[in-house]
Structure 1
Amino acid sequence: MCHKKAVVSKLRKRLFMLIAAGFLMNTPEPAQAEVIFDFNFTDALGVGFNANGQTGSDRRQGLTNAGNYLAGFFKNYTATINMDVNGSETGPNTLASAGSNFSASVATNGFVSSGDVRTKILGGDAADPSPALADGTVNWNFANFQWEPFDDFQPGELDLFSTAVHELLHAVGFASSIGQDGSSGFSDPIGAPTAWTTFDQFVADSTGALIDGTFALDTARWNAASVGGAGPVDGLLFNGPNAVLANGGNPVPLYSPATWLGGSSGSHLDTDFFNGTNGNALKMMNHEGAVASGLDTRVISAIEVGILRDIGYTNISAVPEPGSLAFVLASGVAVFVRRRRKA
């Protein structure tokens, strides 16, 4: 059934970041990728990604390699995505984060709230709603954690490439905008029709989508499923058709622990389900990474490609350009130990 989109009385403009917790690795530039992640490293000299000597050079190359790997999936699109990068973050609880600016005005209710990164990939550089600003940001914590940009791991070093791919996937739209209380980020009353991201169109519980044809969230069902625990019965699910097809005809469990975890709940695959056992292979977009340190998950799965298609990237490739896979395949893929994306 089709429903006309309700038009609100005034333009609503949201400039914010959808940011979730983190993960990173290394890969050569794709052969023909049309999407380019252009990183603007804003750290002071001697700090973070601009650390002195080979250290800074390797860090910058590691992030660039992650961007190239992800860009390899978008070979049928053309855009340059400008990301401001800050490697000066500190704190014991955050590894890294990335997100898209949301700077376009939203005049209607519906699944129409699109980040600048997604808008530019789908529409090209001419679609940039804020050409004078970066499309998104990347933040990194080098002060509290040790990172390996390539594959020469030493004890205690985390996988920069794997974490970066994970975070950049959030920036391209792999994130829910539904708040813990059911709010959308706009000023509309909770439970009223409002604007959402495309990802939210497919956020569901076991009975179906949680946002109805009027674009109102069923808050009672959201309140239960958002803290429903491990999938696929009581927690949140993603029921986009491409993701469901890639998951053997079943909705995809989303991370929805019994205690809400801001920045993680609803915007990741369910680590408690995709845990490497019973055929439920580990995933790049799990809330938790695969290892405490060392080589981590470095390949985007078919389920994650399906989710990208469901949120609008209908021409995305099932696998990246061959050049972008070279380092991933050379370095190996699976290490079945667990690590938190947030420390």
Structure 2
Amino acid sequence: MVTYCYYLIYDNIYVTLSYDKRPKLMPTAKGKTLPRIINMMQLIPITPRWTTAKILQSSLQDRGFTVTKRTVERDLVEVADLFGLVSSDSPDGYKWSYSRKRSDIFLPSISAEEALSLQLVEQHLQDFFPREVFSQLDAIFKKSKDTLVRSQLLHSWPSKIASLPHVLAFKPLNIDTGIKSLITQGILEQRKMEITYGGSDSVHLISPLGMLIRDTKLVLICYFYDYKEPRHLLFHRVNSAKLLNETFDTDFNTLKYSQTGAVGILVNAETIEVKLAVKGYVKELFKESAINASQKINNERTLPDLTTQNDWVDVSIQLPHTLELENWLMGLSDHIIVKAPEQLKARVIRRMIKSLGHYGISTE
């Protein structure tokens, strides 16, 4: 039991000394300078966004700090150079922001592994989101670059990783940044929009639900007018967009929707059992990976009508019947034979015959 205590004040920190315990630090009052300035710095945005001393004073009071506007102004002037703050005059008073060049100075330290992850995010996703979205992350991206430069182990890692498309390396389409921003805002705020699309001047009312990154394309999922069947639009084909004040309620989940197969342009709404005979590259592909849990490979089965029957194996898998599936089967037709179902087999054969006709080859 402590019978005598001494209290000292050192740099605004209360220190309690007792006979039978080690010195311990007591938290400072919320009116103290250091905690107040730290909280103030957390409230300042990165340019072009801004705040004022009056706004900061109100926000600090919400956090429990009793402070005058004049004190906030004095604090801002004192720390401006240290933390890379910039200011400009306005009718509402001086506007304050972090400079983009030094906007990472007040961010907490990140590890080299975290920095690597952020660099890969910036490298592979920046073409698919509005520039203003990524501009809000400039500070953390800059800090990640600086962190990697100082890492002997990981500094060269971003140059050792590349992402290749499935087929040809099409570059991301040039989408109007203003239209893209309005669409993403409509998705986030669940606000209806008026758009023109494709080569038409007709104005359409849509409810934007979500977006997909498909190869190098951005796909907008939306309702047209009051219909409740989702439609797919390509961002780069939207010619104009107007955000309305009218909102809508939805629990639409883009991830779940993409897993239904609807994104692949359904030919048949029912899931089908696709039976294939495969060889070569496709055989190895199925052996090394799986599309879903229903995939089965029969290594023992042979095809008596093929002279190189030992090269082929049977594969069965449950899939939605989509144009994407047909395109994949046709693209690898020298390694695949479609055995079932008959509708899928017939459609693939018809499309192959039609394509041969383009080369002047008759199958009659």
* TM-score class, shorter: under 0.3
The structure that is helix-richer by fraction is 2
TM-score (norm 1): 0.21
Structure ID, larger Rg: 2
Higher relative contact order (CA 8 A, sep 6+): 1
More strand by share: 2
